[in-house]
Amino acid sequence: MKLIAKATIQIQKPIEEVFEGIVNPEKMTKYFISESSGRLETGKELIWKFPEFPDEYPVKEIKIETNRSVSFVWDEEEETKVSITLEGQPDKSTIVKVTTDGKTNNEDNLKWVIGNTEGWANFLACMKAYLEYGIQLRKGAFDFMRKN
């Protein structure tokens, strides 16, 4: 059995706005990352930085289906494939689902799946707060994790 991290949320914004909120670094820096070397586009390779950590995270193998899905491979401690799908709803809201690679069921990967599920649920909550209300939930939320 493979371990898969998943998180889902419904955002009260049209699919086009949610999609732009994911691929546009100007928007992503308001709820997820502190810097990006560019916009998420098919075939590009980017570098992401986070406010809490000094490290840079390569983002590669990017595949985009406009207003439908975003996928990429990024290097946390080892490469992980992330798939984000968008489903427009009749009320003009959008369901966003994040799924990450399946990993072999062992003790280290159990910790990985729990951490990634928690992390992507936080990503979705922060994105919802920012896109719906302009609130930046992530600001200062993880300062305790900084290595001094």
Residue 147 maps to a domain: no
Question: pLDDT, tens digit, for every residue of 56-75?
Answer: 999 999 999 999 999 999 86
Collect the ranges in the chain with pLDDT lower than 50: none
Query: pTM of the prediction?
Result: 0.91
Residue 148 maps to a domain: no
pLDDT computed for residue 52 by the predictor: 81
C-alpha–C-alpha distance, residues 46 and 37, integer Å: 5
C-alpha–C-alpha distance, residues 25 and 40, integer Å: 8
pLDDT computed for residue 87 by the predictor: 98
Planar angle of CA 74, 77, 78, nearest 5 degrees: 60
pLDDT computed for residue 76 by the predictor: 64
pLDDT computed for residue 139 by the predictor: 77
Domain count of the fold of the chain? 1
Residue 116 maps to a domain: yes
pLDDT computed for residue 14 by the predictor: 98
pLDDT computed for residue 53 by the predictor: 82
Residue 48 maps to a domain: yes
Residue 146 maps to a domain: no
Which residues form the domain of 109?
2-139
CB 72 within 8 A of CB 81: yes
CATH code where residue 128 lies: 3.30.530.20
Residue 118 maps to a domain: yes
